[in-house]
Structure 1
């Protein structure tokens, strides 16, 4: 009986630290500054991200991130995931581009759920186009796929 109690406590601790890690990643990703530079392509000054050391340390590392799938069609078949529900996301006002991640699934398919967790390799994009955060080779967690 004692053994079962210890197992349940350990399991609970692991599960709570898992969700804490998902929350912590958004705290880090949302903390970004911007520098305006002239873009030849757009013929105007546009913002470029200045990633913190904490975010740079996550670059090309496997991470788990949970968020809200945004109903946006993309040309590259990526899925848009936001820390905020659609009603308050970057595209609808109130939040910035640092609140959205492009998810590139290892095996592309439609995602039916609104709130989903993904695991994949975080790529930082400081180019003129595209979202500043991309999750490559991503898999949906708790999925049969």
Structure 2
């Protein structure tokens, strides 16, 4: 998932520059496929079912300045989850690559289900 390059690109809708991704061929080959990935569960906005999987725990996640957007994946679960922030989990879902919608992550897992790792 780290095989991605970014260029600052202007989005007129927001009158701002955002990091525009260019996915490698190996990452593109995973699009639409079911994958399983292990990481730290982050409960971003539980009331709105906004969750992410991060390479690092909350204190060192992408939003806290540690790593780039390639270290986080947006999660869309089939059913409500009972994971807590910083639980180490394995999540299985269908990978969706996102280049243009800056309101969502570059990586999105849809139809997710997960297990808590012990």
TM-score class, shorter? 0.7 to 0.9
- Aligned-residue CA RMSD (Å): 1.9
Query: Whose Rg is larger?
Result: 1
**Greater relative contact order structure (CA < 8 Å, 6+ sep):** 2
8 A contact 2:91–2:113 mirrored in 1 = yes
- Normalised by the length of structure 2, the TM-score is 0.86
Q: In the alignment, which of 89, 92, 95 is matched to residue 116 of structure 1?
A: 89
Match of 1:135 in 2: 109
- Normalised by the length of structure 1, the TM-score is 0.72
Distance 1:115 1:108 in 2: 17
Superposition misfits of 4+ residues, deviation over 6 angstroms: none
Q: List runs of 5+ in structure 1 lacking aligned partners.
A: 1-28
8 A contact 2:41–2:52 mirrored in 1 = yes
Distance 2:39 2:23 in 1: 21
Match of 1:125 in 2: 98
How many residues align structurally?
Answer: 115
Distance 1:49 1:74 in 2: 27
After TM superposition, the structure 1 = structure 2 runs for residues 66-145 of structure 1, keeping only pairs within 5 Å, are: 66-73=38-45, 76-112=48-84, 114-127=87-100, 128-141=102-115
Choose between structure 1 and 2: higher strand proportion.
2
Distance 1:95 1:142 in 2: 24
8 A contact 1:68–1:82 mirrored in 2 = yes
Q: List runs of 5+ in structure 2 lacking aligned partners.
A: none
Match of 2:5 in 1: 33
8 A contact 2:37–2:90 mirrored in 1 = yes
Distance 2:17 2:59 in 1: 28
Cα displacement string for residues 5-42 of structure 1 (whole angstroms, at most 9, x for unaligned residues) = xxxxxxxxxxxxxxxxxxxxxxxx12210122221121
Choose between structure 1 and 2: higher helix proportion.
1
